[in-house]
Structures are given as structure tokens and as C-alpha cells.
Amino acid sequence: MKAQVIVKEMKTVAEAQPALPPLVTLRDALASAAPRVLSELLLRENLRQTIYRERRKKLPPNLSITDLEDLPNEYTLTFLGEQYVFTQES
């Protein structure tokens, strides 16, 4: 039962503070847990993935380069004038 409370608290923190690294959330949540409770929890990797899923709920989706429209040349050219971002217009 206590393990479920810890996981729920981690999810709440991850959703409320998406910029907080998952390992910090894990460390803070597990710091005060008793050894018996720790043995009932999922593996750390699974907990980390749970935190990532909760964070993604609040964050905007990742954009691909095709979602960007009309990039100015200053963002597509190197200092030497060579093109390094190729768009449909290129």
C-alpha cells in the first residue's frame, strides 16, 4: 500500500514539475521509504519510465523539421554560408 502512495506522489510531482529530472524525483521520493517498501516497488527503470510518461502529459509534442515553416537563412546556414538545414524550399 505504501509503495502505491510513493508511486502516486512521484507521478504528481512529475506532472506538476515537468522540468525536474526524473532521477531527482526518484531520489526524493525514495529517500524516506523504508527498506520493506522499497522491495515492493517496481524496478528503478520502470519507475523512471512512469515519470517520463507523466511528464509527457504536460509537455507540448516534439516537432519535426517538417513542422517548421519558413526558417530564416540565419537558422539554416553555417557561418561559412553552407546550408545545413534543408527545407522543402531548398
pLDDT digits (tens, 9 = 90+) for 21-67: 888 888 887 787 777 777 777 777 788 888 888 888 877 777 776 67
Per-residue model confidence as pLDDT tens digits over 1-19: 587 888 888 888 888 888 8
* Contact residues for 29 (Cβ-Cβ < 8 A; gap 6+): 6, 9, 10, 13
CA distance 77 to 68: 16
Report how far residue 83's alpha carbon sits from residue 9's, in angstroms, rounded to the nearest whole number. 47
Distance (Å, whole) CA 48 – CA 24: 10
Alpha-carbon span 39 to 50, nearest angstrom: 17
